[in-house]
Every structure is written in C-alpha cells, then in structure tokens.
Chains A and B, each alone.
With several copies, the nearest count.
Chain A
Amino acid sequence: MINDATTIFKRPESLSETVTHYCPGCTHGIIHRMVAESLDELNLRERAVGVAPVGCSVFIYNYFNCDFMEAPHGRAPALATGFKRTRPDMICFTYQGDGDLASIGMGEIVHAANRGEKITVIFVNNAIYGMTGGQMAPTTMPGQKTTTSPFGRDTNLAGYPIRMAELLATLRTPSFIARCSTQTPMHIVAAKKIIKKAFRLQKEEKCFSLVEVLSTCPTNWGITPCDATQWIIDNMEPYYKLGVLKDPEKGEG
C-alpha cells in the first residue's frame, strides 16, 4: 500500500532490532528511543559508550548499537567518570532508574555532578523499584502502595520523595539539569529536545548533564499503561515539576 513514500518516522539507527523485555506500555522504551535518536542526530553512535544500570533497564545494552558496560547497582556515574577521564575523546552516558540513582547511587551521582564530569545521565524516575518486583523507592509518592509499603508510603517513617533534579541543581559547578516526562506525546516531544541538548553539551565538552524523565511502571503500579500515564499527571507531575533547573547556557552555572 505504502510505496515510493518518504519515511518521516522510523526506528533510529542507534537502536538494535531486538524486541525489548519491557512490559507492555512501559515508557522505558520511549526513553531508549529518544536517546538513540539523539545519538543519531548528533552523529555520536560510533564514539558513544553507554553505562547500563541495575534495574529493569539492565539489558539496555542489547537494545543499542553502541558499546556498553554494565555497572553495579547505583554506580554507573562512577564507571562513567572512570571511563570518561581515561577517554575524554569519547562520549559517555549512563541510563539509570530511581532506585539505582536516587537510592543506592546517591553518593556517586552527587559527586559526579559536583566534579562536573562531562557525561550525560538519563535518569528514569518511575517512583518504584521495577525490576525487583515493586518495592518502595526514595521517589515513591506519599501514600503510594508498594510491596514494602503495603499501606502506602508513610512519610513519618520513610520521609517524602526525593527530588533529584532540585537537589543536584543546588550544586555550584556548572551543569545542565532538567526534568521532563513521557505522559503525553507533547511531553515526549519536549523531552526529546532536552535529551538531545544534554548530549550536545557533552559533544561540545561543556558540562555534566542530567535529564530526569518521569516514566511509568504499569506492572508494579498495578494499572494499565494508559492509566499509568494519567497517574503521572495526577500524582507525580505536581510534585516533580517539569522544566530546566540549571542551564550553563543561561549563565546561571
């Protein structure tokens, strides 16, 4: 039916042809694609090295056509630091979940950002530990039920969700820190721009960049993929405000 046509949207080259292991409707897949598109558009694939986290996205290395190393849980920014300092001519990015980055990896991400490592961090916040079966994360919303907070997150015992982007934006070292989301197509369009900018800043040897992306986990939230995007709008977005929090090109540095 469709022939002689111009393709106006297709699978980016940086993405391999593997079907992912993600659950239906899990927005990890969208974020993967945006990263891959950014690598393609900036022509970075052949000198890019990704660092896989431990979390649902642990198999990310199977889905990209670029080199990858796989980090211990939470330590991806340290691996990226080590690699980038040894090969400053390469492009290095991490892809991390909220358990990985905001819980066990807190020390590593704060210090990588503070040293101003010239790496790009894609931080996928789905307010839960996806891979291990839905335990409470530091980013879990107040009252949210998880397998380790069966009566809902109790802020008296577990505190409030951590806003990583805000926390990192307090650091004086110049960096690019932004939060975006995947809940509607227009959010995705905006997210893509931000992710691409984060990679561009690395290409230009400018600064550390971190993009927090609000993401769904229909499986562990126990709702349909469509309801999950609505859940972001209703519950996460009011607390995790979207926007660019720190931008070296805006002279705030």
Chain B
Amino acid sequence: MAKKLMKGNEAIGEAAVCAGALNYFAYPITPQSEVAEYLCWRLPEVGGAFVQAESEVAVGNMLFGAACSGKRVFTTSSSPGISLMQEAISYMAGAHLPVVLINIMRGGPGLGGILPAQSDYFQATKGGGHGDYRTLVLAPASVQEAVDLTILAFDLADKYRNPVMIIGDAMIGQMMESVEFPEKYREQNDPAESDWALNGAKGRESRILKSLYLDPEKLDENSFMLANKYDMMKKDEIRYELYNISEKNRLLVVSYGTMSRVIQTAIDEIGEEEGISVGLMRPITLYPFPGQQLYDEAVKPNIEKVLSIEMSVGQMVEDVERFVRGKKPVEFSGRTGGIVPTPDDVKGYIRKSLGIEK
C-alpha cells in the first residue's frame, strides 16, 4: 500500500481496522479523541461499530462484554481514563480475555495536563488493578511503529488470551508521519469457530467467562495459570532495539517511546560533537521487560553506568535497577508533566552522568 501521511491517532485507528478489530468502545479525552473521531465514520464503512460510552468505567466493561464474543475489540484513552478501567482490566485478565487497550499518555497525576508524558509506566507494567495479573505492554516510538504494534497487539491478545496495552505518549498520537499499512486487511475472527467464546450453548455445555473462584485452591490455580502465561511471554515475546552499540560506549541509556528518538539524536550529536560514545537500549515490550538483554549490555566492560531517561520522575528505572543487579550504577534523568527533554537536555544528562563538564 502507498505511504500515507497520518496523525498517530488516526493511524492507530486504521491499524485496528487492518487487524480486523472492528468493535471499538471509547470516551473522549485529549490527546487521543481523534481516534474516535476517525473511527466513528471509518468503522461503519467496513461493517464495524463504534460505541461512545458514558465513561471510561463503562468502556472497560463494554470491552469486557465485547471480548466475550471472541471478536477483536479495543479502546483508546489517556491516563485518567485508563485509571478508571483498572477494575475491568483486572477482571478481564482474570477471565482470560483478549483485548487491546491503547493509552496515549498525558502528564499526571490527577488532571495533570494534556501534553506528552510517560508517567503511567508503573500502572501499565505492574498492574494498576488488584490481584495477580499483568498486561503485555508495547511502546511504539513512531507512527509507523504504532501501526505495526497495534496490529501485533491483537495477535498477541488472541494468542495469550490476555489484555495487551500499548502505551504511547501524546506525541505518538498527535504527530503526523508517513505510514504504510499491510496490503491485506484481516477478516474479523469468526465467533462461531471459537472454542472459548460465548457463542450460544447449542449442542454443547454452556460456557462461563468469569474471574470468581470462591474455592481458594481454584483461585490460586487461576492465578498461577496466569503467571504461567506471563512466563511464556517472557520466553517468546520480548522485543527491544539497540542503537549505537559499540565497544567504545561509556554509557548505556535505557529509554522507550518517542523519548528514545530524542535520545538517538542526542547520541548522534554528542558522538559527533564531543566524541562521547553512548549506546541505547529501547525496550519495545515494557512487560515482559528485556531484563536479561539489558543485563548483558550493562555488564559490557566499557560501560560505566546505566542511565534511564524517562518523561516521568523515574519509574522504569526501578526495573532497570532490578535487572542490572548491582553490576553497574543505575541513574535516572528526566522531566515530566508535558516537558519533552530536548536533545540538548539529553546531552546534559549524559554529561552529568559521566561527570563531564562542558
């Protein structure tokens, strides 16, 4: 298909259509309302349906009901909206339902602001809801990757029967870049073929999709069944990108999403201008986190430190610390609330971390 210049939010909408996900539920919130504004006319064209819900609490639960059909279903929202879905997400995970949730993050806490941030890392990767569950979390760094990961998200949700989240910051949603979509659009899942969906107890026992297990042995079993799925994800689904890896690197930066692009520019510039060699690890799956891979990079002899740069006051850095296992000092730099550190800022962080005066 030809390249198109598209806003991230709209591209995400089209990517879902492309993945055969034609049932969409959402509530307006800046900076992602364009997804709904796009899909409200696009979905009817392809026989899909958009329901504007009365709230994000309702969205989460509409998704829950819709996912029980076995078709591909999804929502998009932004930080406060995602907080309101935590109960439903916990339920959907507990009931083993495939569903895709896209969080175009804005600054927080509270009402915060409407500008880009990455301060929902904990919520997404540790599970903001109650109980032992996880969502698989993907973090795109460009509009094209937002498209690709959206399509992938539906595959992974179906594969593991588990909620998958995409977290992109407001930049991902608002910026226009050229994108390509696959030639072939996928058909919707056929609910009749599902061996778990609720498609009518005709000629078979009735099916129940639930998360209630009053028998503690059963509930324990369900939780460890979930844990097992997450272990499988850890084996098969870890994705990340390395940039400018070389034996001369003194510092390993860890960063995800659009923030990582700023860092790539900074790394290019500081290398060219000041001869400081820095590598970048960009996790694409935030859960499961590429922990061993990070460790392997961090222990390389020339690396003095590991620096997590985030648009937050420091969240992913806790995972970085955990996986670096004390082998190298781990530091954090970042801004939040809508401030996107610029390449100059990043160069400053790098120098500071390495103790270099300019």
Contact = CB atoms under 8 A, between A and B. Distances in A.
The answer to whether A and B touch in the complex, with CB atoms under 8 Å apart, is yes
Given A69-B209, A70-B111, A148-B36, A106 B54 contact: yes
A85 interface: yes
Interface in B57-81: 57-69, 71, 73, 80
A111 B208 contact: no
Interface string A193-233: 00000000000000000000000000000000000000000
Contacts of A52: 210
A184 interface: no
B201 A46 contact: yes
Interface size classification for chain B: 35 or more
Nearest to A48: B200
Interface string A22-65: 00000000000000000000000111110110100010010011
Interface in A56-83: 58, 61, 64-75, 78-83
B262 interface: no
A90 B58 contact: no
A182 to B, nearest CB: 24
Contact of A82 (B56, B64, B91, B191): B64
A83 B54 contact: no
Contacts of A151: 41
Contact of B51 (A69, A74, A85, A90): A85
Contact of B49 (A65, A74, A85, A149): A85
What's the interface size class on A, roughly?
Answer: 35 or more
A149 B41 CA distance: 8
Contact of A69 (B52, B53, B68, B80): B68
Interface stretch (B22-30, B155-163, B172-180): B22-30
A76 to B, nearest CB: 8
Contacts of A16: 206
A20 interface: no
B52 A70 contact: no
Contact of A80 (B25, B50, B65): B65
B37 interface: yes
A149 B212 contact: no
B279 to A, nearest CB: 41
B40 A82 contact: no
Interface stretch (A132-140, A171-179, A237-245): A132-140
A129 B64 contact: no
Contact of A67 (B64, B110, B208): B208
Contacts of A149: 40
Contact of B30 (A61, A132, A150, A157): A132
B27 A69 contact: no
B208 A61 contact: yes
Nearest to A71: B61
Given A46-B202, A82-B62, A83-B69, A148 B40 contact: yes
A147 interface: yes
Contact of A150 (B40, B58, B66): B40
Contacts of A49: 68, 198, 200
Contacts of B315: none
Chain A CB count within 10 A is highest, among B28, B95, B111, B199, for B28
B88 interface: yes
Contact of A72 (B40, B49, B67, B88): B88
Contact of A87 (B28, B54, B69): B69
B55 interface: yes
Contact of B63 (A51, A82, A111, A129): A82
A106 B38 CA distance: 27
A107 B55 contact: yes
B208 A45 contact: no
Contacts of A131: 30
A80 B53 CA distance: 13
A44 to B, nearest CB: 10
A86 interface: yes
B51 A67 contact: no
Contacts of A66: 200-201, 206
Interface string B303-336: 0000000000000000000000000000000000
B258 to A, nearest CB: 22
B206 A68 contact: yes
Nearest to B200: A47
A58 B37 contact: no
B67 to A, nearest CB: 8
Contacts of A148: 28, 36-37, 40, 50, 52
A190 interface: no
A104 interface: yes
Given A68-B198, A132-B30, 17 more contacts: A52-B210, A54-B111, A64-B206, A67-B198, A69-B65, A72-B61, A75-B57, A78-B59, A78-B65, A82-B23, A85-B66, A86-B65, A108-B54, A111-B53, A132-B29, A135-B28, A150-B40
3 shortest A-B CB distances, which residue pairs? Answer: A82-B65, A79-B65, A82-B62
Interface of B: 23, 25, 27-30, 33, 36-37, 40-41, 49-69, 71, 73, 80, 87-88, 91, 95, 110-111, 191, 198-202, 206-212
